[in-house]
Copies of this chain bind each other. A is one copy, B any other.
Amino acid sequence: MRVELRSGAFQPWAELAEYERAAQLGTGVGATATFVGTMRDYNEGEPVLGMYLEHYPGMAERELSALVAAEVARFQLIDALVVHRVGALAPGDPIVLVAVWSGHRREGFEGCRAIMEALKARAPFWKRERTVGGERWVEKNTAGY
């Protein structure tokens, strides 16, 4: 299991290839489910030029680790990986990668989604968008289910 914050850009598929190479998860894995959240260039009809992702250092890592561990236990996952950007982002940048490895597809799909929803609800991140009209804090989350 690994949870990591990144201040620079990352390439999700390269991260996954490297993580699997290092983790040697074995042939008990039947399913791998992943999710990548990417910075869009539009929000509520307005072009978004850039974004700054503030976080609570220490608590962000701690909360992510706790929520990932909880879903790993609940869905009996073999392993899980979360990589999350912080700081300044550009449109098209990956913001978050969630990957889970499991025996069967049901646990994989549901575990991956549960981690994303818990992350959204609990991890101390705050988004500030830059638009042509200026900068604004994003005040609410979108619905996930």
Contacts and interface: CB of A to CB of B under 8 A. Distances in A.
A30 interface: yes
Nearest to A117: B105
Interface in A11-38: 11-14, 16-17, 20, 26-38
A39 interface: yes
Contacts of A31: 35-38
Given A11-B17, A142-B104, A144-B106, A34 B34 contact: yes
Interface in A83-115: 91-92, 103-106, 108-109, 112-113
A20 B35 CA distance: 15
16 contacts: A13-B13, A13-B16, A13-B20, A27-B39, A27-B91, A27-B92, A28-B42, A30-B37, A31-B37, A32-B36, A33-B112, A34-B34, A35-B108, A37-B105, A40-B103, A105-B144
